[in-house]
Structure 1
Amino acid sequence: MSNIKSNKVQKSTNDNTNSLDLLTLEEIEAMSMSDTLANFSRYINPHLAKAFSLLGLAKRKPVSALGCIIKMDDKSEVLDMTGGLAILNVGHNHPRIIEARAKWAMKNGLEVWKFIPSPYHAGLAENLGRILPGDLELAFFCNSGAEANEGAMKLASKYAGKNRDLIVYTDISFHGKTHATLSVSGSENPKNSPFKTMSGCLEIPYGDSNALREMILEHKKQFQKSRVSTFIVEAIRSEGVICPPETYMQEVRKICDDYDVTLICDEVFCGFGRTGQFFAFNHSGITPDIVTISKAFGAGKATFAAYITKPSIFKKAYGSMEEATLHSTTYNGFAEELITAIEGINIIYDEKLVEKSRENGNYLLSELEKLKLIHPSILKEVKGIGLLVCIKTENIASKALNFIPAVGNTKSMLKKITTAGIISKLYEDYDILTFTPLHDPSQILLAPPLVITKREIDRFISALSEVLNSNFLEHGAHLVKNSMATR
């Protein structure tokens, strides 16, 4: 609980016209990390608060960020190798993004263009149409990747008609955590989900185009057309950096064409240069029917997303005045978000960040391969494409378990998240921020800003090398120490 104003929190009554002693922005900015963590635990999520403490992430307070560097209140400079989970492709606080948003704010521009056509709305959609292949040119703007994917699935369903009500997804996939997107996220294990998932969702193995054909044919037996309307897929699976067989996406495209199945490519994580192409599906040369985007689309400043489709699909689904707004959202293309996305895309092209992603990604991967040769018992696998790189570790904490006292569920925790020691040590001792994905805690996933330099990559490699050369009993002790601090 924050001690800034009072140890006793003042609560509102049903008569909320009474004045409350609310925290001001200045007071919140002055809040200590200990108060922040306490408030996070009480008002947001106590288990996430414990995770922050466990990994040593709640000791220092960020004061500014630029490019790949986060400056902390103790004067240290942390190298961000996470890119905010692929949000920060143009880096933290890119000067052109800051300038564009500041200019807009200073002129008191109209933010909400609900009843007047917005040139920013139309202009960004045109830019996307120029970037995307074929006739992918009709865009719908929204707020998150999950919302974009759900909107795309609704569009595909409306296009297909009520008699074709089945959606195919892959076992290795993540498309969001809304009701519909959770139902098609194989990595979330929807069949055993604690939530009731949507019916009509069919799972097939990732990378197996024959499985898609067989699933379509299986549900065609009693119908002139298969009941399968949609296939949603990531051209490259971001978590684990899983690339399908070389011809997979071409085969999928042909199968979808043969059976009139709408192909949705989820580019939420891999879009905007992350994999060394502007979009991951560009590696295969195909044109999807619908593309979904988010994360880096907002250039690190806007919570922004979209789906883009072909005129033929939009016309059949929403092609009348009565149906034109069947799918809509309140926060559809606020001007400052549109301006941010327009400038962010131009930065990617002007600074050749797609090319830099390929070049620096190859360099990072080659340096990690050298470390793997030195530490084969620790680094099980390194793989990557562009600046999306996965380090898979062996169970580095297993030897430490026999020497660590039982503290709550510490031993079981260490068995599950053996990379946590590396992540914690990199951050606390070397000022390097990394992360492990939710679905496979044996991995460290690297997705740094595309503006990263070779010098910054060398800094990361040097730090990781020292961590790998250290006594791994220290990693277990390090985690237990942090774990005990959360009790």
Structure 2
Amino acid sequence: MTFSIAELFAQHSTDKFDLHEQYLNNQMVRVLKTIGYDRHYQSARGQYLYDQNGVEYLDLLSGFGVFAIGRNHPTVVAALTETLNLELPNLVQLDVSLLSGLLAKELLKTTPDNLTKMFFCNSGTEAVEAAIKFARYTTKREKILYCEHAYHGLTMGALSLNGEHVFREGFGPLLPSCSAVPFNDLAVLENALSTRDIAAFIVEPIQGKGVNLPSDDYLPEVQRLCKQYGTLFVADEVQTGLGRTGKFWAVEHWNVQPDMICMAKALSGGFVPVGGVAMTDKIMDTVYNRMDRAVVHGSTFSKNNMAMAAGLATLHVLREEKLVENSATLGNQIIAELNALAPQYEFLKEARGKGMMIAIEFHAPKSLTLKAAWTMLETANKGLFCQMITIPLFKEHHILTQVAGHGMNVVKLLPPLNLTDKDRQHIVTSFDKTIADTHKVPGSIWDLGKNLAAHALKGKTGG
């Protein structure tokens, strides 16, 4: 009997929710069914998903930014197929691989000039774990500084740098000697660094939770202060890197040179997990300073041929299709056109971001009827209003988006970088229609709001 994945899909095409309820995270299934996202997707191409009825959905979530070049890109598929068919030696371990050397060379062509060495791993959180260890060993200091509301991953070290309480609750005690400072506050940062016992300051150039942008002088001053007090400046570009913000690396917007850049997500092409840390010679040579320390930090599956091939093919696509440039041009157009809607709608505060990392923030209106409706939702659960945006966008306009973080009235877009002008028009028109509907009180969209509030209150009371 032959083994066939295609046959398994055909036999179990509508079984995924039952399987997850029985064997995996059944709470995720409950969430999807509650908000009406329980679709049976059958295929995916580029920026689009297709369900069992052939309905097309514009994916502005892109697997939390993984599918920057779109889903199932033929160039990456071909590279992976070719790699499998070559029957290459893989993970020999007492050897070094050609493909990892080639990927390191190509990546370091894109980074600031001071970064000359690469460490590969399997994910963004592993990249952050490596940065923590490398910083401690290089500086001979223990303490790590991070920002409030930061997100750096969910393994124990990375979680210790996570500024959102909801992810940390119940998992302590976490890594000692880690402390937070406010994002974009140089005075507090300098006060913390002035103790001269901080190994590293790890910061997202643009915070993912909420898409919070720094002031123009923040990162340049971060670089200066870190250098002054002997602290390593680590940029977490797991989400912002590889063209997401309209530059290859977000730090390019402010012309800074971190001591390390953490990367992952888009580098995989969406197929094989791959992460990495670009760093200075000094850091690499300090950590791996003797032959008996050659394996002092690593990961079994890092540098595997499939991951490295996916990374090389992804970089090729980014260059050949000019996706970084497209991210800058089309992303900034979307931000500008959404902002142009703000004078029409009391709920809409602003659109912000860089490239195709976009936030649309909502706030309390002034008119009494709208304010009462807003308060009803906020009382039930802070940030609930955004569900009244994301759910109709999905059900009525077939656009997949996400809320930017817990308790935030911010919708976040992380689309593939290959969006077209037609996609841009669809996005702006759909947001316009959906936001307009929220201003009709009473109205069908507020029936949804009442149901969401009821579910939220039921959850709080344990019903």
| 1:434 match | 401
| 2:152 match | 175
Using the alignment, how far apart are the partners of 1:45 and 1:190 within structure 2?
16
Q: Deviations 1:55-113 (Å, cap 9, x if unpaired)?
A: 2110x311111111111111111011112211111011111111111222233333334
Using the alignment, how far apart are the partners of 2:85 and 2:167 within structure 1?
47
- How far off is 1:135 after superposition? 3.0
| 1:6 match | none
TM-score, with length taken from structure 1: 0.85
Equivalent position amino acid for 1:276 in 2: G
**Is contact 1:395-1:415 (8 Å) kept?**
no
- How far off is 1:381 after superposition? 2.1
- How far off is 1:228 after superposition? 1.4
Structure-2 change in CA distance of 1:430 and 1:325 (3 Å): same
| Equivalent residue for 2:132, pick from 146, 153, 170 | 153
Equivalent position amino acid for 1:263 in 2: F
Structure-2 change in CA distance of 1:476 and 1:44 (3 Å): farther
Structure-2 change in CA distance of 1:267 and 1:415 (3 Å): closer
Q: SS of 2:403's equivalent? A: coil
Using the alignment, how far apart are the partners of 2:451 and 2:205 within structure 1?
41
User: Which structure: larger Rg?
Assistant: 1
- How far off is 1:42 after superposition? 2.7
Using the alignment, how far apart are the partners of 2:126 and 2:375 within structure 1?
46
- How far off is 1:360 after superposition? 0.3
Which region of structure 1 is more displaced relative to structure 2, 366-375 or 328-337? Answer: 366-375
**Is contact 2:364-2:374 (8 Å) kept?**
no
| 2:317 match | 347
Using the alignment, how far apart are the partners of 1:327 and 1:102 within structure 2?
30
Q: SS of 1:418's equivalent? A: helix
Using the alignment, how far apart are the partners of 2:339 and 2:167 within structure 1?
35
| 2:33 match | 53
- Give structure 2 stretches of 5+ with no counterpart: none
Equivalent position amino acid for 1:321 in 2: M
Q: SS of 1:186's equivalent? A: coil
CA RMSD of aligned residues (A): 2.6
Equivalent position amino acid for 2:402 in 1: F
Structure-2 change in CA distance of 1:112 and 1:459 (3 Å): same
Which region of structure 1 is more displaced relative to structure 2, 248-257 or 432-441? Answer: 432-441
| 1:9 match | none
| 2:417 match | 450
| 1:80 match | 59
Q: Deviations 1:258-291 (Å, cap 9, x if unpaired)?
A: 1211111100000001111111111111111111
Q: SS of 1:429's equivalent? A: helix
Q: SS of 2:247's equivalent? A: coil
| 2:391 match | 424
Equivalent position amino acid for 1:177 in 2: L
Percent of pairs with identical residues: 26
Q: SS of 2:95's equivalent? A: coil
- How far off is 1:317 after superposition? 2.1
| Equivalent residue for 1:69, pick from 29, 44, 48 | 48
**Is contact 1:291-1:308 (8 Å) kept?**
yes
Which region of structure 1 is more displaced relative to structure 2, 444-453 or 185-194? Answer: 185-194
| Equivalent residue for 1:465, pick from 410, 429, 432 | 432
Structure-2 change in CA distance of 1:262 and 1:402 (3 Å): closer
**Is contact 1:414-1:476 (8 Å) kept?**
no
How many residue pairs match? The answer is: 447
Which region of structure 1 is more displaced relative to structure 2, 23-32 or 353-362? Answer: 23-32
| 2:286 match | 316
Please say if 1:337 is aligned against 2:315.
no
Q: SS of 1:300's equivalent? A: coil
| 2:12 match | 31
**Is contact 1:87-1:295 (8 Å) kept?**
yes
| 1:10 match | none
Structure-2 change in CA distance of 1:206 and 1:414 (3 Å): closer
Using the alignment, how far apart are the partners of 2:128 and 2:111 within structure 1?
17
| Equivalent residue for 1:215, pick from 177, 183, 192 | 192
Please say if 1:387 is aligned against 2:356.
yes
| 2:161 match | 184
Alignment of 1:105-116 (within 5 A): 105-116=84-95
- How far off is 1:413 after superposition? 5.3
Equivalent position amino acid for 2:273 in 1: T
Using the alignment, how far apart are the partners of 1:24 and 1:271 within structure 2?
33
| Equivalent residue for 1:371, pick from 341, 359, 366 | 341
- How far off is 1:32 after superposition? 4.7
**Is contact 2:207-2:213 (8 Å) kept?**
yes
Which region of structure 1 is more displaced relative to structure 2, 178-187 or 271-280? Answer: 178-187
